[in-house]
Amino acid sequence: MSTNTFEKSKTILPGFFLSLAVAIGAKLLALLMPQLGGATLSILLGIILGNTFFKQPQLAAGTKFSESRLLEYSVVLLGFTVTFQTISKMGIKGLLYVILMMSTVIIGAYFLGRKLGFNEKMALMMAGGNAVCGSSAIGAIAPAIKADDTEKGQIITLVNLLGTVMMLTLPFLGMQLFGNDLIAKSALLGGTLQSVGQVVAGASLVNGETVQFSMLFKITRIIFLVVVVFIFEQKVNRAGHDVVIEKKAKKKLPIPWYVLGFLIICIVNSFFPLPDLINQVAHFISTWFETIALAAIGLRLDFRKFLKEGPRFLLYGLSVGAVQTVAALLFIFLLHL
């Protein structure tokens, strides 16, 4: 192990072990409160502890690693539990639903942002972040449209706030409106919630099967990320901005690596069914990675940042959330999902 790798590992360990401890605590609490489940308790416990006792800067590297990397690994492992036969249950209507939702959210978030006085780049990042995959989408869109770091940080904060509110409310709305209708509940959560972690956490409030199907809708949205980035880049260019794309940015995968990994394993699992033991082990590891990642998401959620953004930001977030929710319910009804 090189010196740099060793030093990096040392910085990650405190936050990682804290996230692990919160996840274990949540799993134990779930034995007493099975109706909530380990995943939900993990993020809620993380939010409480992260905003009270664990604000130390030295924890940031480890919680960031746990939030991002472990969740990515979890998505890849999800491929062992999904086949094309599973995906086919989403159907053409499911694909049409995703396209309609993304188009509506992009248009709605952009025009709401402009009406509320946000500049074009902030409106585009808000549109892409909510339509595709939260912070990851904003991270891909920002360099393409040459947004500055302050603008990017503000929109990421706003998207995370909105996603957290929707994550804790939409599952109950879905259960109330759709009862045992798995596809409708999954479409509501997978078609609206901003980040992969929020989809997992929200769907976990329902059940494990809803997590699986919600992720199908979510991954379909993520696959369209390359299209969204291209369209936004062209729009900014046509508006007369001097956008320069760095050479190294062009070498990046058109979709996140973990989505590609999920698809590859899903293809293999569809044509060459894997032993049940492998699927069970993958599911076990994936579940623990999810729980640790959700604990880290909670620990990193700083409510002070949200309060600093002011009422205009909060109004923007709530308005976009309302558009997403109403559009999702309307399309689920019209398409008979």
Per-residue pLDDT tens for 87-96? 777 789 998 9
DSSP class of 254: S
| pLDDT higher than threshold 80 for residue 121 | yes
| pLDDT higher than threshold 70 for residue 251 | no
Whether the full predicted model's pTM is greater than 0.75, yes or no, is no
DSSP class of 59: G
Which tokens sit at 114?
A: 């402009």
Position 36 scores a pLDDT of 63
Burial of 266 (0-12, 13-18, 19+ CB in 10 A): buried
- CA 230 to each of CA 144, 243, 319: distance values in angstroms, whole numbers, following the listed order: 8, 12, 26
The mean pLDDT of the chain is 83
CB atoms within 10 A of CB 280: 12
Instruction: Tell me the backbone φ, ψ of residue 149, rounded to 5 degrees.
Output: -65, -35
Between CA 135 and CA 18 the distance in angstroms is 23
* pLDDT tens-digit series, residues 197-216: 788 878 878 887 898 889 88
DSSP class of 272: S
Burial track 122-161 (b if 16+ CB lie within 10 A, e otherwise): bbbbbbbbbbbbbbbbbebbbbbbebeeebbebbbbbbbb
Name the pLDDT band for 98 (thresholds 50, 70, 90). very high
DSSP class of 2: -
Which tokens sit at 263?
A: 């698809």
Between CA 203 and CA 5 the distance in angstroms is 36
Average pLDDT over residues 304-331: 87
